[in-house]
Structure 1
Amino acid sequence: MILQKRGTKMDKDYSSYKPTEYEKYRWLRANNKYVTLDINTNFALFPRDNRTVQIQVNYKYEFVNMYYWIEDGGTEEQLNRFVSEHTPKEEDSKEYLENKIAKQKQSLAAFESRYKIESRHFEDYVETFYEEHPEITREPLHNILSGCNITLPLGEGILDFVYADFDSAYKDTALIYGLIYQLREEYVKNNKDKQTEERKEFPPEKIENQLDERIHNYYEYYFSCDDTRGITEVSLYTAICPPVIKRSADTYLSIKRYYQYLKALQKEYLDILQFCFDEDYYPELLGNMTTAERYYTFRMAKDFPPFIERNEELYMAFAPLMDEKTHTYDFVATVAQLKTEYPAEPLGRLAAELNTSADTLSHCLRRTHRLTRRYSFSSTEEMLELELSKMIENDIRFRKCKRCGRYFIMKGNYDTRFCDRIVEGETRSCQELAAQENYKKKMAENVALPIYSKYYKRYAARVKVNQIKKNDFKKWKYEALVKRDECSAGNITPEEYIDWLEGCFPNRKRKDK
Structure 2
Amino acid sequence: MLGFTAYFYKTHSMIDGAGQFKTNEILLAYLEYDFPDLRELLDKCKSFERKLHYPEMGDENIEFDTLIQKAFIFYDKLDAMIEKLPPYNKLQVKRNRLYKIMNDHKYLFRNDLENHGENYWPPEFYDHFYTSNYYDDLDADMYDSALRLNRKLSAISKEYRIFVEDCIRVKEIYSAFLEKLHAGKEYLDAKETADIYRRFLSEQENRINTYARLEPSGTMSETFVPLNPEGDFVMYERYKFSTIGGFLYIDLFKGLQNHYLPRKCGLCGRYFLLEATAYSPFCTRPIKGKRGKTCRDMGHRKTYADKVNSDPILLTYTKAYKQHYARYLKKRMTQAEFREWADYALELRQKAYDKELVFEEYEEKIRA
TM-score, with structure 1 as normaliser = 0.38
Q: Which has the higher contact order (CA 8 A, sep 6+)?
A: 2
TM-score, with structure 2 as normaliser = 0.49
